[in-house]
Amino acid sequence: MSQFPVSLKRTALVKRRHLLLAASAAALAAALPIGRSLSSTQAASGARTCSTSLAQVRFIHLGLRVAPPKKTYGRGRVRQKLAAKYALRTLKRQKASLCFRDGTILDINQRTDAVLADPAHTLVRRGEVDEHVMPGSNHAVQTAEAVASATGTQFDVLRRPGTSTFVVVEGAVLVRSKQGSVIVKTGQETTVKKGQAPTPPTAVDAQAATAWTGSIPPPASPVPENIALDANGGGVAGSSSKNPTAGHDPVYVVDGNLNTSWETDAGTTSGWVRISFAHDASYLLTAVMLDCAAAGGDQSRDLKSFQIFTSNSIIPDASLAAFTKVMEGTCLQGNSVQRFDFPAPVTARYLELVAESNYGSPVATDVAELMAVGEPKPVAPPPTPTSLPGLIPGAKGYQFQNLTFHEDVMDSDSQLAASWDWTLSGHVCGDPYANTWSGSSRTVLHWSNLPTLPTPEPGATPLPTITVPQDSDQTGAASWTVNQQGQITGTSTTSGTGTPVIFAMHFLPGPPATVELHVDLSGDTSGTEIWSPVQQTVSAPLTAYTGCP
């Protein structure tokens, strides 16, 4: 068998993040632990442990053979505890499943020989395994041809004589041989032949490739998904980086490759990066995992102190969303993935990492990877219809009147000083999803019908007159349009800091036919004027428009 080097050293250019096991049993016995796994304390804080030993048998179908080091094979048992260098074997039609101490699951297909080298490495001599890696932990599956390393994903390894095939069900996996390496992501596979580099990743039906696991029951607590990973639908929604240097773009913080990193701008040691999740949906977040090390090997750039913010805003532009601090933490210096549990689960559409300091470098701060644990996994929303024929039978166009949302303005003493409404009216000719809406809006500032304002308490700053283009109860005109995605663009002539962000206009066939408007405004403060935040969904009847040709 080929020999693969084992090293934890950093080079001048790239961290040696993924250990390659020696393929022989003797080399496996002497192999050092991979430098990417969680400490025992960190792992226990978040993993769904199934055993205090290295691993435990959780399921057997028709048989499993188990051999302790230097002993013969014996009959395996459910709940049997396994230790380093234990060998496992299945025969024809036999299957089994293990759970590791950190919550990772390893399913074993028929006619498979494998060895548990240590808590982070499994050697597959022949056959097939499917591994569900707990986010934040690190596991590698080794064959004679290559090694696959992952930090939270599901992938399948099939070993036949002279050839190994690696299929990624979800996530990202680094597959390496002595001749080269590739990153394989969700719905892709690579093949490695003896003495050759992995083939470029190609699309594959991953569900079909892993259909053999269907007869193996899932664990009582499913392995969660890293929802920040780009292959799982996550992405960068913004960052403080103005001029990312080569190899340090913000996208690298969610690419699943621990040999790349996001870096703050040159000469600054603080910065931020915002992450969005798949389907523009809310997730219940329970923890983040950070690889706080610098990909270039300069440990003084490793992230030290940080803060995590989240937002559940429905605004599709994260730069306009309101964020709330969830936690702050400190990374241990070193080449490892570290888990940080939230004080309580948080519902969020966006997550923001704020890097505050590093371990001494004045040049920049690096973060190799940001992972987020979110559950349950949301179902993708149905696609937006491209047309709604028969919305109103016989209508050539549609209109709505007085679609209104409300906001209050408070004085510095938190007393209601004024309130205002933005009211929209509009129409479209033809299909409401195929054509652009046009219309107008008016902003009405209400001074009447308000409670008598109390005298400010001693020391409070009185609210000055709010400046608007018109007198009280007059209107400020605005024009706007709605595109096919339901996003409204336009400007209001009303002054002040409370101009709202409006988006997501939906047309519902009913009956009765309605138009629904989602509004999200983070609120603002200008001087002593305090504009309250708004998150509202309002609707109005949709009627036929008779002005169409």
> Quick check: is 10 in a domain?
no
CA atoms within 13 A on the CB side of 64: 24
pLDDT at residue 274, rounded to an integer: 93
Determine, yes or no, domain membership for 243.
yes
pLDDT at 127: 98
pLDDT at 156: 97
Three-state SS at 196: coil
Q: What is the dihedral of CA 276, 280, 284, 286, to 10 degrees?
A: -10
pLDDT (average), residues 42-68: 75
**Percent of the chain's residues with pLDDT above 70:** 67
Same domain? 318 vs 338: yes
Which of the four pLDDT bands, split at 50, 70 and 90, describes residue 528?
Answer: low
Backbone Cα Rg of the chain: 29
Q: Which of 331, 259, 256, 258 is nearest to 292 (CA)?
A: 331
208 and 255, same structural domain? no
Residue 32 scores a pLDDT above 60: no
Closest by CA position to 256, among listed 157, 372, 102, 132: 372
- Rounded to a whole number of angstroms, the distance between the first and last alpha carbons of the chain is 79
Select from 439, 445, 483, 491 the least CA-distant residue to 466: 445
Instruction: Note the pLDDT of residue 296.
Output: 75
Residue 389 is assigned to a structural domain of this protein: no
Name residue 98's amino acid: L
What are the structure tokens assigned to 131, written together? 């591994």
Count, residues in the chain = 549
Answer yes or no: do 502 and 442 share one domain: yes
For residues 463 and 506, the model is more confident at 506
Sequence-distant (≥ 6) Cβ neighbours of residue 321 within 8 angstroms: 311, 313, 315, 349, 350, 520, 522
Assess whether 58 and 183 both reside in one domain.
yes
Show which of 374, 407, 440 is a domain's final residue: 374
Amino acid letter at 294?
A
pLDDT in tens, 101-123: 989 999 999 999 999 999 889 99
Q: Do 260 and 166 sit in the same domain of this protein?
A: no
Kindly state whether residue 437 falls inside one of the protein's structural domains: yes
**Residues 67, 195: one domain?**
yes
Strand ranges (DSSP E) for 250-390?
262-263, 271-276, 283-291, 305-311, 324-330, 337-348, 350-355, 366-367, 369-374
The residue range of the domain holding 495 is: 397-544
Structure token pair of residue 434: 């195929």
Q: Which range, 16-20, 63-67, 533-537, is most confident? A: 63-67
CATH number of the structural domain spanning residue 345:
2.60.120.260
Q: Of the given ranges (3-7, 353-357, 388-392), which has the lowest mean pLDDT?
A: 3-7
From the list 174, 357, 331, 194, the residue with the least C-alpha distance to 264 is 357
Q: What is the pLDDT of residue 28?
A: 30
Q: What is the pLDDT of residue 446?
A: 56
In 3D space, the residue among 249, 255, 210 whose CA is nearest the CA of residue 234 turns out to be 255
- In the structure encoding, which two tokens stand for residue 458, read together? 């001693």
User: How far is Cα of residue 216 from the mean position of the Cα atoms in its chain?
Assistant: 28
What is residue 434's predicted lDDT score, i.e. its pLDDT? Answer: 67
The residue to which tokens 């601090």 are assigned: 325
Neighbours of 37 (CB within 10 A): 20
Q: Are residues 521 and 427 in the same domain?
A: yes
Is there a contact between 19 and 31 (Cβ–Cβ < 8 Å)?
yes
β-strands 188-193, 202-203 pairing: antiparallel
More confident residue, 9 or 324: 324
- Exposure b/e, 102-133, CB count within 10 A at least 16 = b: bbbbbbbbbebbbbbbbbbbbbbbebbbbbbb
pLDDT score of 38 more than 60: no
Out of 41-45, 211-215, 324-328, 488-492, least confident range: 41-45
* Highest mean pLDDT (candidates 60-64, 261-265, 389-393, 511-515): 60-64
Q: Whose structure tokens read 């938190």?
A: 414
Q: What is the pLDDT of residues 273-318, one digit of tens each?
A: 999 988 777 899 999 999 998 877 789 999 999 999 998 876 555 6
Q: Which residue has the higher pLDDT, 400 or 365?
A: 365
Q: Which residues contact 270 (CB under 8 A, 6 or more apart)?
A: 264, 354, 355, 356, 357, 365
Residue 309 lies in a domain: yes
Among 285-289, 372-376, 410-414, the range of highest mean pLDDT: 285-289
Answer yes or no: is 392 within a domain. Answer: no
Q: Across all residues in the chain, what is the average pLDDT? A: 77
Q: What is the CATH number of the domain that holds 191?
A: 2.60.120.1440
Least confident of 95-109, 142-156, 325-339, 406-420: 406-420
Higher pLDDT, 453 or 414: 414
Q: Are 544 and 342 in contact (CB under 8 A)?
A: no
How sure is the predictor about 398, in pLDDT bands with cuts at 50, 70 and 90? confident
User: What are the beta bridge partners of residue 412?
Assistant: none
Higher-confidence residue of 322 and 82: namely 82
Give residue for tokens 């992938």: 155
238 within 8 A of 251, measured Cβ to Cβ: no
Q: Is the pTM of this model over 0.75?
A: no
Answer with the residue of higher pLDDT: 460 or 424: 424
533 falls in which pLDDT band (50, 70, 90)?
Answer: low
Q: Where are the beta strands (DSSP E) in 151-218?
A: 154-160, 163-170, 172-177, 180-185, 188-193, 202-203
| Domain annotation covers residue 381 | no
Query: Taking residues 420-429, what's their average pLDDT?
Result: 78
Closest CA to 296 of 17, 36, 13: 13
Running DSSP on this structure, what letter comes out for residue 26?
A: H
Same domain, 291 and 236: yes
Shared domain for 421 and 537, answered yes or no, is: yes
CB 488 within 8 A of CB 502: yes
Say if 283 falls within a structural domain: yes
Q: Which of 194, 223, 252 is the last residue of a domain?
A: 223
Domain count, the chain: 3
Q: Are 248 and 298 in contact (CB under 8 A)?
A: no
Q: Which of 241-250, 354-363, 375-384, 540-549 has the highest mean pLDDT?
A: 354-363
Verify that 420 and 334 share a domain, yes or no: no
Of the three residues 189, 223, 257, the one that is the final residue of a domain is 223
Are 370 and 404 part of one and the same domain?
no
How far, in Å, CA of 15 to CA of 391, rounded?
60
Least confident of 33-42, 156-165, 220-229: 33-42
| Residue 470: per-residue pLDDT | 36
- Which of residues 196 and 12 earns the better pLDDT score? 196
Whole-angstrom CA distances from 533 to 14, 196, 349, 519 are 46, 59, 18, 10
Q: Per-residue pLDDT averaged across 177-204, rounded? A: 96
Residues 325, 333 contacting (CB under 8 angstroms): no
Instruction: Quick: pLDDT tens for 464-520.
Output: 444 333 333 344 445 566 655 555 665 544 434 444 455 566 677 667 778 777 776
pLDDT per residue as tens digits for the range 133-186 = 988 787 899 999 999 998 778 999 999 999 999 999 998 999 999 999 999 999
Residue type (1 letter), 279: H
165 vs 209: CA distance, rounded Å: 10
Asked if residue 531 lies in contact with residue 496, where contact means CB atoms within 8 angstroms, the answer is: yes
Q: Do 428 and 291 have their domain in common?
A: no
